[in-house]
Structure 1
Amino acid sequence: MALIRLFATACSFLVTTAVAGDALREWYAAPIEQWPAAITADGHAPLALSPLTPIGSLATEQQIKLGEKLFNDPILSRDNTVSCASCHVKSLSFQDGLRSAKGVREQIGNRNTPAIFGIDHWQSFFWDGRAQTATEQALKPIENPIEMDLPLEEALKRLNTSTDYKAAFDEAYGKEHITSAMLAMALVAFERTIPPPDSKYQRFIALAQEAPKKAQAMLSESQLEGLHLFRTKAKCMTCHEGALLSDNDFHVTGFHRYGLSFEDLGRSEFTQNVRDIGKFRTPSLLGVSKTGPWMHNGLFVQFRPMIEQYNAGGFRPKPNRKNAMDPHYPKTTPLIQPLNLSDDEINALVAFLNIL
């Protein structure tokens, strides 16, 4: 009798699982606006998932080619060993695959290199948002003492004494004398042409706008379940929303190491506002399988431990005796709460992240 009951229970489980899978197929075969409502930690309605499409550029072919040449030329670093492409590698979605960026003289920075794409979709740049525009961002690594360590005045002097570059800028901008504004514009002209990662997700979400039934058939059972969890129970769209899969905002995720070795004060280093201590910009998850390690300090090298951290309610460091009374000790955002995901659900989320 016990064996019969066990068999019946097993059959019930299999039927339930099949129905759940069929239900997901049906839900996600509908137009995107009819998908199950997304769930967020604070109850806001997130931007719907959509393909990341470039914003039109007015740059000419000459300007784009000039920007690409500059992007790949170590002439913009003090010792002529580092270019923009040294940290932003084309095959790695214009990231470098390292925990922290490496600059001139083999110096190691304290932050992970962000990937480059969709630059006109961002409202700020760098992990701390210290640049407000792409043209402002383009020049900062050149002067950064750890990255390229070349004063902008010296960089422009080098370019203006180069016959090739003077001719290239004259062709691109109608001026032989190269200014910092022209240098930034050329770099950004090229960066605007960098497409989002070519991924199964990008193809899926683009097709979902026109032929949702065909689109959902592209995903495996685990990938489809991962998509659903991403949008609902896991509450990932609290911060990772829209085409960019980022809310363009800053949050304390708990990895600031405030008052300890390797401390990183995050956004407050730029704003000088104590309320911004430990805040970092939400990264895009597009191409995330190619842009590890992850987090601002490259802490995670595998998806599962990272998801398990969020599943447990995030990392919430406590003040030690030294800073127990410090009123500015950063508190992890309340947007991160325990999720109660099962092992199978975590596996499904990993499957989804792998196609982003």
Structure 2
Amino acid sequence: MMKLILTLLLSLSLMALNAQAEQVVEDSNRLETLTQLYQQHPSKWPAIETMDGRKVSDLAPLTNLKAEPSKQQVELGKRLFNDPILSRDKTVSCASCHMEDKVFADGRPQGQGIDNLVGNRNTPAIIGVDHWRSFFWDGRADSALAQALMPIENPIEMDLKVTDALKRLNNDKQYVESFKRVFETSTIEAKHLAQALVAFERTIDKPDTLFQRFIHKAYSAPKQALSMLNERQLSGMHLFRTKAKCMTCHEGPLLSDNLFHVTGFHNYGRPFQDLGRYEHTKDIADVGKFRTPTLLAISKTAPWMHNGFFTEFRPMIDQYNRGGFKPKPRGRFIGDKMFPTTTDLIQPTYMSAQEVDDLVEFLKIL
């Protein structure tokens, strides 16, 4: 009997070793295939896979789309960005929520403004100002210039009327001299304030990351670029573009489609409800919709989602891998025309545990 057990154990051990060897060979072959595919110019990379079969823009370097602002405009904008003079009690500045050491986010689940008031949404990082077609999670600003002034008047952010902010600036000799030098105006107006703030914001839209260095090089020297990535990062990038179908919504240089989707985290009819874009448009079709965020510098901008729900990569990716969060109307909500339906663009992707790990490794370099 003992001999039979030993024989069986030996057989199982050999089977396990053979399986491990086969896996090593399979991984080696897969890496070799991916290396051959991605050492080419990006125009020859494998086709992007999206959940709806739609063609999207491929990965590309993030660049300014407009002429660089003048150095004087940038310096003035930076001073204003960091000056609490733009808040009611002069305790909060733009930099209070958009911190340079946190990629101009704040690291909190929800933003915190004047009198320590806490909002209901996560503070987005300032990245790619030129590339956005709308601003805020609900898209209520259609330009960077419009967005720049809104936090000043928001009662839970800086709580100061822009007209009062302008009075303060026009009563400050140094600011009057600076605006006169930069904008050739003797009276500081709202448009000048917005232009200065945006000029500074446009200088902080290129995160210094391994991915940015890689993707810049990929278009000029693909083989050299590929040497920057390790095996797991390369596998993760391939998954990002194909099986995981991340580029259904996170496409192009900005890694955002600039659109609004229901991702299921609206808490409709429950505590912490957020109706999303509907609060701006009042269109029932927009209930629970939020703008697709950029994934650039994502490893430095946790927590994620519009409400700061996720603090780690793995749980966030796992829920998308399973098909997302899709709350259904129950009880008194049955028949409620406003109850949001999670977008069909989120479906199970059936990635293995190793594939999820690889995708996470890619996200870390963005």
TM-score range, shorter chain: over 0.9
Question: Deviation of residue 11 (structure 1)?
Answer: 2.4
In the alignment, what sits opposite 1:309? 319
Percent identical among aligned pairs is: 55
Counterpart CA distance in 1 for 2:198 and 2:277 is 24
Counterpart CA distance in 2 for 1:58 and 1:347 is 39
Does the residue aligned with 1:46 lie in a helix, a strand or coil?
coil
Structure 1: segments with no counterpart, 5+ residues: none
The match for 1:208 among 208, 218, 232 is 218
In the alignment, what sits opposite 2:249? 239
Does the residue aligned with 2:332 lie in a helix, a strand or coil?
helix
Does the residue aligned with 1:354 lie in a helix, a strand or coil?
helix
TM-score by length of 2: 0.95
Counterpart CA distance in 2 for 1:344 and 1:204 is 23
> Is structure 2 residue 301 aligned with structure 1 residue 300?
no
Counterpart CA distance in 1 for 2:127 and 2:245 is 24
Counterpart CA distance in 2 for 1:48 and 1:137 is 28
Does the residue aligned with 1:280 lie in a helix, a strand or coil?
strand
In the alignment, what sits opposite 1:94? 104
Question: Deviation of residue 118 (structure 1)?
Answer: 1.3
Counterpart CA distance in 1 for 2:167 and 2:332 is 49
Residue type at the aligned position of 2:52:
D
> Is structure 2 residue 39 aligned with structure 1 residue 29?
yes
In the alignment, what sits opposite 1:188? 198
In the alignment, what sits opposite 1:178? 188
Structure 2: segments with no counterpart, 5+ residues: 1-9
Counterpart CA distance in 2 for 1:320 and 1:159 is 53
Counterpart CA distance in 2 for 1:4 and 1:285 is 44
> Is structure 2 residue 33 aligned with structure 1 residue 14?
no
> Is structure 2 residue 274 aligned with structure 1 residue 260?
no
Q: In the TM superposition, what whole-angstrom CA distance separates every residue of 1:96-152 from its partner, at most 9, and x where no partner exists?
A: 011000000000000000110210100000000000000000000000000000011
Question: Deviation of residue 65 (structure 1)?
Answer: 1.0
Question: Deviation of residue 60 (structure 1)?
Answer: 2.2
Question: Deviation of residue 216 (structure 1)?
Answer: 1.1
Cα pair 2:323 2:348 within 8 Å, conserved? yes
In the alignment, what sits opposite 1:149? 159
Counterpart CA distance in 2 for 1:226 and 1:219 is 10
In the alignment, what sits opposite 1:284? 294
Question: Deviation of residue 4 (structure 1)?
Answer: 4.7
TM-score by length of 1: 0.98
The match for 1:335 among 335, 340, 345 is 345
Question: Deviation of residue 15 (structure 1)?
Answer: 1.1
Question: Deviation of residue 88 (structure 1)?
Answer: 0.5
Q: In the TM superposition, what whole-angstrom CA distance separates every residue of 1:81-108 from its partner, at most 9, and x where no partner exists?
A: 1000110011111100110000000000
Counterpart CA distance in 1 for 2:174 and 2:280 is 37
Aligned residues: 356
Residue type at the aligned position of 2:210:
K
Cα pair 1:196 1:286 within 8 Å, conserved? no
Q: Which has the larger Rg?
A: 2
Does the residue aligned with 2:351 lie in a helix, a strand or coil?
coil
Question: Deviation of residue 195 (structure 1)?
Answer: 3.2
Cα pair 1:57 1:192 within 8 Å, conserved? no
In the alignment, what sits opposite 2:50? 40
Q: In the TM superposition, what whole-angstrom CA distance separates every residue of 1:5-33 from its partner, at most 9, and x where no partner exists?
A: 54433322221111011111111111101
| 1:103-142 aligned within 5 A | 103-142=113-152
In the alignment, what sits opposite 2:209? 199
Give the CA RMSD over aligned residues.
1.2
Counterpart CA distance in 1 for 2:346 and 2:262 is 10
Does the residue aligned with 2:66 lie in a helix, a strand or coil?
coil
Question: Deviation of residue 324 (structure 1)?
Answer: 1.6
Q: In the TM superposition, what whole-angstrom CA distance separates every residue of 1:196-227 from its partner, at most 9, and x where no partner exists?
A: 21100000111100111111111111101000
Counterpart CA distance in 2 for 1:197 and 1:58 is 17
Counterpart CA distance in 2 for 1:219 and 1:279 is 35
Counterpart CA distance in 2 for 1:195 and 1:205 is 16
Does the residue aligned with 1:251 lie in a helix, a strand or coil?
strand
Q: In the TM superposition, what whole-angstrom CA distance separates every residue of 1:217-246 from its partner, at most 9, and x where no partner exists?
A: 111111010000000000000000000000
Q: In the TM superposition, what whole-angstrom CA distance separates every residue of 1:281-333 from its partner, at most 9, and x where no partner exists?
A: 00000000001100000000000000001011000112231212201210000
